[in-house]
Structure 1
Amino acid sequence: MSDTAATLRQLKIKSGVVGRLKKEHELYQKELVDQKIKTDKLVANGAEEWDIKNSGKMTEESEKMIKDSEERLGKAYDELRQLVVSAKKEPALAQEEALLKAEGILEEAAL
């Protein structure tokens, strides 16, 4: 496989990874908001202590997952950014669809 073909393949793969991790990160953030609302409702309605405590644990777990997904997204973002920078130096790749798509994903996923 030529260097150009390998670079295009890596652009597609890494773009997909960044896009997936961005969606995952957003889902965990939404889950955290929903879980906090649920916990607040339990407290307001005078639910049993076990239910409130369990909901708090689930909130903590969501916070941990946000941190984890943010770290993985940051790493994947940096890898894709470096690949895009090196691909831009190759004239054969300047107008490739995969490169343009990767740039778009980088803009969308910017932390």
Structure 2
Amino acid sequence: MSDTAAIRRQLKIKSGSAKRLYKEHRSYQREEEDLKRKLDGFRASGAEDWDINNARRMMEESAKMVTDTASRLGVIVQELREIILSAEKDPALAEDEDMMKAKETLEEVSI
């Protein structure tokens, strides 16, 4: 496989991974916000301790996943950035469709 083909393949793989992780990260952020509202509602209404504790545990788990996905997303974004930089050195990839999509993805998912 030529270097150009290998770089093009990596652009697709890393772009797809970055998009997936970005969606996952946003999903956990929304879940954490929803659970915080739910927990606040339980506290305001004087719900049972079990309900409050369970909602708090679920919110903490979501917070851990937000942190985890943020760190994994940071790694994949850096890898994608490095591949884009190496691809820009190849004149065959300068105006390539995969390259343009990878750049768009990088802009979209950079946090």
Output the TM-score relative to the length of structure 1. Answer: 0.98
Runs of at least 5 residues in structure 1 that lack an aligned partner in the other structure: none
1:105 corresponds to 2:105: yes
5 Å-filtered alignment, 1:1-111, equals: 1-111=1-111
- Deviation track 1:88-110 (CA, whole Å, cap 9, x = no partner) reads 01101101000000000010111
Q: How far apart in 1 are the matches of 2:7 and 2:108? A: 21
How high is the sequence identity, in percent, across the aligned residues?
54
Q: How far is the alpha carbon of 1:18 from its aligned partner?
A: 0.3
Over the aligned positions, Cα root-mean-square deviation in angstroms equals 0.5
- Report the Cα offset of residue 33 of structure 1: 0.4
In structure 2, what residue type is equivalent to 1:22?
A: Y
Bigger shift: residues 1-10 or 65-74: 1-10
Q: CA deviation at 1:62?
A: 0.6
Q: What secondary structure is seen at the aligned counterpart in 1 of 2:46?
A: coil
Aligned residues: 111
Secondary structure at the counterpart of residue 86 of structure 1: helix
Aligned counterparts of 1:9 and 1:90: Cα–Cα separation in 2: 14
Cα separation, 1, equivalents of 2:45 and 2:55: 14
Q: Where do 4+ consecutive residues of structure 1 move more than 2 Å?
A: none
TM-superposed deviation, 1:72: 0.3
- How much has 1:82 moved relative to structure 2? 0.1
Q: CA separation in 1, counterparts of 2:49 and 2:22?
A: 35
CA distance in 1, matches of 2:52, 2:100: 48
Unaligned runs of 5+ in 2: none
- Matches of 1:110 and 1:7 in 2, distance apart? 21
**Offset at residue 11 of structure 1 (A):** 0.3
